[in-house]
Amino acid sequence: MAEELTPENPDTETPETEEAPIKTRKNGLYPGVSDELAENMKSGWADTELHGLEPIAQASHTADRRAALSAAFPGERLVIPAGNLKTRSNDTEYAFRASTEYTYLTGDQTQDGVLVLEPRPRGAAGHNATIYLLPRSNRENGEFWLDGQGELWVGRRHSLAEAEQLLGIPAKDVRELAAALKVAPGPVRNVRGHDAGIEAALTDKVTAERDEELRVRLSEARAVKDAFEIGELQKAVDSTVRGFEDVVRILDKAEATSERYIEGTFFLRARVEGNDIGYGSICAAGPHATTLHWVRNNGDVRRGELLLLDAGVETHTLYTADVTRTLPIDGRYNEIQRKIYDAVYASQEAGIAAVRPGAKYRDFHDASQRVLAEKLVEWGLLEGPVARVLELGLQRRWTLHGTGHMLGLDVHDCAAARTEAYVDGTLEPGMCLTVEPGLYFQADDLTVPEEYRGIGVRIEDDILVTEDGNRNLSAGLPRQADEVEAWMAELLKQV
Ligand code: GLY
Ligand code: MN
Ligand code: MN
């Protein structure tokens, strides 16, 4: 990457402007810019303003979401930041990912953006929304080519007028927001954890409890997905299916290298078709499959062992899939692998069957766990009766985690929701959740026969609650063992 201009000599000229001199993001004024060059750079640029832009596809949905939030907090100013770049090392940053709350309410993903819902004046009901963004770079004062956030360095931004057309929200310059918030009267709440500058401006005006209520509300609001969101989740899953197919086709290359080849292959699909991966891909071969969040992905890939691949593409609009398949690396499950796989499959079938409107959220977990407990008793790993095993939770030595979670903009979506609205709640049409039972026999678990040790199996699908039951969004990937083998054989034929 090119380096930004740095001060060779802090006393040399700076661009002459009426306003404050341009500063680098780092530490100084830009030197070595002659008056002639500064003057030259001001002009000779075409007007590229875009007119008559169509609103983004989700604009009417984001308006509905803002209206629902407005109704929940009458008379209060609500501040929802996108967040800022985070330093990775020195002057390099992690890829920016806008906050879920901001994306949900605006459809925008611009770093440093802030949505403000301002109570309407004179006691009128509702709020006026304004989105605060960094405008196009000024060419007169040189910021477009001299500032670290200048468009010449980071790319063209939308003008505020363009953003208004796209998002359907009036837009203002974000550089004026913090000072305005500091002096604005009246009650205010902020979504914390995204923008330290905004938090500093509001520090005397907010409380942790009231801010948390805003976050909880936004988390619960996302439980039922609208038509746009369901379409995006299906896109995320469809790209994920293609990513899994990609991985099967390169298993020989992974054998020759490591789990990293699998990680990189899936990532390629995610970056080409979507925004990114929705979470760190778990590419766990052999005994690594028994580590629930194995993301180091630096192990060997060996024939005769299983690959547990848990990965999801995140769409350009930031909705993610979350899918797991446990595949035989050589294309055929051996006897013990298949025995464990079939048990997990039966558990998942029971779990998916329990997903329907009106069911308690916990029902699918209970149904899946019951099947696994029955198998563990049948295999002699636990002493029955099954009811006692379940009551004491003894199966959990090998089932380890909950059977699923809400899915959406976050892989573990709605995570701030209250217990009564989530795990103690009831399923409704439009909710989307994973059903992902697993069995994990650690390599050093002396309580199971040796042949079980080092085997981990999880099967995870993304299930939409419909009016009359459910729809498996990830049905494009086979789950039943024979079907997995046939699917792999077909893909490997094409290599
Ligand atoms: N990929 C993390 C999970 O399945 O919840
Ligand atoms: Mn999951
Ligand atoms: Mn997963």
Q: Does ligand 1 come within 6 angstroms of the Cβ of 461?
A: no
Ligand 1 atom closest to 311 (CA): 1
pLDDT at 31: 65
- Is residue 310 classed as helix, strand or coil in its secondary structure? strand
Ligand 1 atom closest to 460 (CA): 4
249-303: per-residue pLDDT in tens? 999 999 999 999 999 999 999 999 999 999 999 999 999 999 999 999 999 999 9
| Rounded-to-integer distance, Cα 472 and Cα 92, Å | 40
Ligand 1 atom closest to 458 (CA): 4
406-423: per-residue pLDDT in tens? 999 999 999 999 999 999
Q: How far, in Å, from the CA of 84 to the mean position of ligand 3?
A: 27
Q: Does ligand 1 come within 6 angstroms of the Cβ of 436?
A: yes
Name the one residue in this structure whose structure tokens are 């009359």.
468
Q: Positive or negative CA dihedral for 226, 229, 234, 237? A: negative
Ligand 1 atom closest to 401 (CA): 5
HSE of 264 in the Cβ direction (CA atoms, 13 Å)? 10
Residue among 237, 263, 279, 400 whose CB has most ligand 1 atoms within 8 A, to mutate: 279
Tell me if 171 sits within 8 A of 130, measured CB to CB.
yes
| Rounded-to-integer distance, Cα 283 and Cα 288, Å | 8
pLDDT at 32: 78
Q: Mark residue 425 as left, alpha or beta (left: phi above 0; alpha: psi -120 to 50; beta: remaining).
A: beta
Q: What angle do CA 227, 232, 234 make, to 5 degrees?
A: 95
pLDDT at 30: 58
Find residue 51's DSSP bridge partners: none
Q: Does ligand 1 come within 6 angstroms of the Cβ of 108?
A: no
Low-confidence residues of the chain: pLDDT under 70: 1-31
Residue 202 Cα distances to 67, 171, 190, 495, angstroms: 23, 21, 8, 58
Q: How far, in Å, from the CA of 151 to the mean position of ligand 2?
A: 38
| Rounded-to-integer distance, Cα 202 and Cα 179, Å | 10
- For 137-187, the DSSP string reads PPSSSSHHHHSTT-HHHH-PPPPHHHHHHHHSS-EEEGGGHHHHHHH--S-
Query: Nearest C-alpha to atom 5 of ligand 1 is from which residue?
Result: 412
Other beta carbons less than 10 A from residue 469's beta carbon: 15
Name the one residue in this structure whose structure tokens are 């440093």.
112
Which structure tokens are listed for 211?
A: 């801010």
pLDDT at 25: 39
Q: Does ligand 1 come within 6 angstroms of the Cβ of 462?
A: no
Query: Nearest C-alpha to atom 4 of ligand 1 is from which residue?
Result: 322
Q: Positive or negative CA dihedral for 416, 417, 420, 423? A: negative
Q: How far, in Å, from the CA of 322 to the mean position of ligand 3?
A: 5
Residues measured by CB to lie within 5 Å of ligand 2, the ion: 322, 434
Which structure tokens are listed for 259?
A: 């789990």
pLDDT at 495: 81
pTM value is 0.93
> Which of 353, 471, 430, 409 shows the shortest CA–CA distance to 99?
409
Q: Which residues of 208-222 are buried (b: 16+ CB within 10 A; e: fewer)?
A: eeebeebbebbbbbb
- The enclosing H or E element of 133 equals strand 127-133
Query: Nearest C-alpha to atom 3 of ligand 1 is from which residue?
Result: 322
